[in-house]
Structure 1
Amino acid sequence: MNKLTQGRKSASALASLLIVAGALLIGGCDRHGEAGHAEATAKEEGAQLEPVTFTHFSDRTELFVEFPPLTVGHESPFAAHLSTLSDFRPVMAGKVTVTLSGGKQPTETFTVDRVANPGIFRPVAKPKYPGPRKLVFRLDTAQGSSVHDLGEVTVFADQAGALRAQAAEKPEPPGAIAYLKEQQWKTEYALSEVGKRSLRESVAATGTLRAPANQDAQLTAVSAGQVVAAGQFPQIGMVVKKGQLLAYLVPRLGGDTDIATLDLAMQKARLGVQQAARERERLEALHKQEAVPERRVIAARNEESLARAELTGAQRRAGQYRNDGGSGGGIAIRAPISGTVAEVGVAPGGFINEGQPIVHIVNADRLWLEVRVAESDIGRLGEPTGAAFRVDGFDTSFEIDERHGGRIVGFGGVIDPVSRTAPLVFEFPNPQRRLRIGMAARTSVFAGKRIESLAIPAAAVVDDNGVPVVYVLRHGEAFERRQVRLGVRDGDWVAVKSGVAAGERVVSKGAYQVRLAATTPAAMGEGHAH
């Protein structure tokens, strides 16, 4: 939507005007004769004409322009400030064409093909024809063209007429906050237009980000012992696959157990297997000659199987206490899920007690948002449909809904007797794993019902000692502090019940800087490159 605002700079200019006017009254008439009085007065008064300002938005750029009132035969230099609406940065190159048309007079064109300063073009107009004229600015850049139609302006026959016209105008209302374009361009700054939006009703709640129950594995020691590496020892941030061997836990030897005893038991078991195998072979040969019954062969086979089982057990017991450079031995510690190592509870070769954590693995590709909904909000919430939340360190909010892969895991049916809240759990994808488990989330849970309301970006609202305020654009470099009454919040947008009107523009990025300019103007610098 195109929008045009017009204003006049009044404070300092009006003071200068009064001083010069007083000086003219005291000494002007003594220096001029009757014939040249009117012309000289107009010339001296014309030097004190207040600049005219316009602010206009096209679909691509914002124009804020200052210039002296247009007067026939006099040069009027324009200070045209142009910003791109995509990022509110200054236009760095291009051509600006100014046209005066209409009023049953020929069209006049004035052009400048380069910037004087970043974002500022300085075309100069010297009108030839008085009366009402249509003023249009056109910007041509390599990225395209942008037209700013400022509507009808008056070209005065002389500067005395311009001064009389300005004197008849109403002064600008007090309370304007000056925040110059040069300051805007050097900071994070943006404007948003107030308009109607369809917003979802919601309730506010606190939440915490967690890993899904089946994507969070805490490996603990099944017995006291030494943890030794099996290749690369786990470290924080290491990506592992399900079933991957991470380390070995070599249990601590019992009071009456040593390696020699385990080796002896394993050797005895090995000899037992050999003896049982020979006995089974002897009896099978005799059975073929019908010298022994079949039952003795079956018993020998069973004895051999039992001996082999005893050997396997002895090998495993001994293997728990042996580790040849990580190539074998000990209790294998394997990753139960695919994910990322979040914590490591022991150093390579370190000893650990039974039950102590060894490795914590999480898969953060998807996360849970566990929200605590206040008892008083449950009735108003009804059946939740989704949520939006914000966490510290991120400028934007995150939304959970089915369209973006989110879902409701469950809504608790029991109120916690201490906090008087019920748990509500959402699951959602976590692209690039930007969010971290354990983050606190300021959450809005959507109730599903929609309302139509004037809305502004939530970032535009500043908490001024407990009072919500916004900064509304008067013209390109002047803003007004407004107290607002807010309604429901839907993600990055909030309903506003009073304080602003549709079509106005509020500072949606950099509002704190404008507030600083209002309270401590000196801190924001001073002066214009005009």
Structure 2
Amino acid sequence: MTYRHNRQVRTLVLAALFGTTLFISGCNKHDESSHAPAAAAAADEETAFAITHFSDKTELFVEFVRLAVGRESSFAAHMTTLSDFKPVSAGKMTITLSGAGQPDETFTVDAPARAGIFRPVATPRHVGQRNVTFRLVTPTFTSVHEVGPVTVYASKEAAMKAQAAEKPDGPGAISYLKEQQWQTDYGLTAVAKRPLRAAVAATGTLRAPASHDAQLTAIAAGQVSAAGSFPRVGMKVKQGDVLAYLVPRLGGDTDVATLEVAAQKARIAAQAAGRERERLEALYQQEAVPEKRVSTARSEESLARADLAGAERRLGMYRKGGAGGAGIAIRAPISGTVAEVSVAPGGYINEGQPLLHIADSERLWLEVRVAESDLGRIGQPSGASFSVDGFETPFEVSERSGGRVVGFGNVIDPVTRSAPLLFEFANPDQRLRIGMAVRASVFSGKATEVIAIPATALIDDNGQSVVYVQRGGEAFERRAVQLGMRDGEWVEIRSGVAVGERVVSKGAYQVRLAATAPAAMGEGHVH
């Protein structure tokens, strides 16, 4: 989209006074050396002509007096990158005049006069409607602005006559200079139609899914000993890792010596049963004993080995093992992060007492409480978005983002008069934490194509929602808007702006300040 207008606030008056050329402007202490041609040679009043144009990478805001054959015209081309709305600091700019049945004319400047501002000078040789193209080549990208036809007049007098016949721009524009835009957190967004979904507000909490959360408790009373490095909060563990050992207390008259004797007896019995089984198998091969005796010997050997295994396990709970631990191994049931440690190494615990809490936050549950009065409007939930204090942008839970509905409770809580609704979603960078409180919007039904803008573009002006629409590179207009549904960071606009217009989506408050208190924004720019 291209914006063209006369810069009535930037009027150049040239006067010969003691051999000095004076530049006078309506801006706050504006030095207009880049906003008006320095080579103009007339004492008549001449206004600058301005064009604003967008490519896919940059915004061009250029000011120049009307072109005339044989006259040098200096352009003040302000170049802004759309990725961050900061000035282009390096590059080569070429202006091409083409069309009207005349040869192409090119004018080039190899670098900006200062960050964001290029000052190519053009001296046209041909009269007529010439198509003007600005080509910017930087070390990282190339941007082309085809701004359309511009008239090249036969003389400056003809240009002045055409200027006199034109109607001036309408009043009411808010001036917010490029230098001010570049120095603040500023951005534009084109008004367009987007699919939005109706939503219901709710509060919620982030939880770990049931399969991604484990509370380890003591299966018996005893002492906890370390298995290498004792678990700590934030420690990453894998399923099956031995985290610690639980050494149960000995009951009654049992002591370690008794357990060792029992294990030795079981070992001797198992060895004897094995030798007896081997002897009978040899006799069976000679047909000296019946097969039944061999089967009985094999069963007795199996029972003896089972007794031996049980005795060794009981003894192993109280003496050092090959893995460097002692007692019952406490293993991680899931992979994740240690969220809580409820016992210290060497401490005694009772049966059922909490030991460790392990949670995997790569996927989370969003549990929201939907008010009883809103249940009729939700119907079948299709997704949600939620905001968390400390995070600038909201998070989305939907099928397109890998989320899903886990369950929707059918019982109303008698205290809160609400029903629980669970969503599951991915948390790959694990920025979100289990237990966080959130403000959520639950979506219902299918998306509807509506005119929408970012919610950051809205300003509450004494209870009225307003936005600031760009009329030109440095000119803005306050508009009151009527809001519709809200879908995450996007808001439906039912009236006040049109598709294709651009609204200030970052720094709208600064534009408002420029409109209400220009002095608070500082002095104008100096090129």
Shorter-chain TM-score bucket reads 0.7 to 0.9
Query: Which 10-residue stretch deviates more, 464-473 or 378-387?
Result: 464-473
Map of 2:3 onto structure 1 = 4
Match of 2:387 among 381, 386, 390: 390
Letter aligned with residue 407 of structure 2: G
SS at match of 2:115: coil
Deviation at 1:301, TM superposition (A): 11
Task: In structure 2, list runs of 5 or more residues that go unmatched.
Answer: 18-40, 284-294
SS at match of 1:385: strand
The yes-or-no answer on 1:263 pairing with 2:257 is: yes
Maintained 8 Å contact 1:269/1:308 = no
Deviation at 1:318, TM superposition (A): 5.5
Map of 2:455 onto structure 1 = 458
Change over 3 Å in CA distance of 1:9–1:383 after alignment to 2: same
Map of 2:433 onto structure 1 = 436
Q: What is the CA–CA distance in structure 2 between the aligned matches of 1:252 and 1:153, rounded to whole Å?
A: 99
Letter aligned with residue 7 of structure 2: R
Q: What is the CA–CA distance in structure 1 between the aligned matches of 2:219 and 2:509, rounded to whole Å?
A: 56
Maintained 8 Å contact 2:69/2:152 = no
Maintained 8 Å contact 1:203/1:446 = yes
Letter aligned with residue 263 of structure 1: A
Deviation readout 1:384-436 (Å, 9 max, x if unpaired):
12223333444444333334432211111112222222111111222233432
The yes-or-no answer on 1:216 pairing with 2:216 is: no
Report the TM-score when normalising by structure 1: 0.77
Change over 3 Å in CA distance of 1:352–1:469 after alignment to 2: farther
Map of 1:291 onto structure 2 = none
Q: What is the CA–CA distance in structure 2 between the aligned matches of 1:510 and 1:96, rounded to whole Å?
A: 31
Map of 1:27 onto structure 2 = none
Match of 2:133 among 131, 137, 160: 137
Maintained 8 Å contact 1:110/1:123 = yes
Map of 2:92 onto structure 1 = 94
Give runs of aligned pairs for residues 60-79 of structure 1, distance below 5 A.
Answer: 60-70=57-67, 74-79=71-76
Deviation at 1:507, TM superposition (A): 1.5
Change over 3 Å in CA distance of 1:167–1:527 after alignment to 2: farther
Map of 1:249 onto structure 2 = 246
Match of 2:486 among 472, 486, 489: 489
Maintained 8 Å contact 2:54/2:145 = no
Task: In structure 1, list runs of 5 or more residues that go unmatched.
Answer: 21-41, 289-297
SS at match of 2:202: strand
Report the TM-score when normalising by structure 2: 0.77
- Alpha-carbon RMSD: 4.3
Q: Name the one with the larger helix percent.
A: 1
Deviation readout 1:157-191 (Å, 9 max, x if unpaired):
44697399469744542361x33222323444321
Q: What is the CA–CA distance in structure 2 between the aligned matches of 1:474 and 1:68, rounded to whole Å?
A: 19
Query: Which 10-residue stretch deviates more, 166-175 or 376-385?
Result: 166-175
Letter aligned with residue 60 of structure 2: L
Map of 1:162 onto structure 2 = 160
Give runs of aligned pairs for residues 140-155 of structure 1, distance below 5 A.
Answer: 140-141=136-137, 143-153=141-151, 155=153
Match of 1:415 among 395, 409, 412: 412
Maintained 8 Å contact 1:8/1:172 = no
Deviation at 1:349, TM superposition (A): 3.3
Map of 1:192 onto structure 2 = 189
Deviation at 1:211, TM superposition (A): 1.0
Give runs of aligned pairs for residues 307-318 of structure 1, distance below 5 A.
Answer: none
Maintained 8 Å contact 1:54/1:150 = no
Change over 3 Å in CA distance of 1:517–1:236 after alignment to 2: farther
Deviation at 1:312, TM superposition (A): 6.6
Letter aligned with residue 137 of structure 2: T
Q: What is the CA–CA distance in structure 2 between the aligned matches of 1:44 and 1:269, rounded to whole Å?
A: 115
Change over 3 Å in CA distance of 1:346–1:155 after alignment to 2: farther
Letter aligned with residue 375 of structure 1: E
Q: What is the CA–CA distance in structure 2 between the aligned matches of 1:303 and 1:109, rounded to whole Å?
A: 104
Give aligned-pair identity as a percent: 58
Letter aligned with residue 467 of structure 2: V
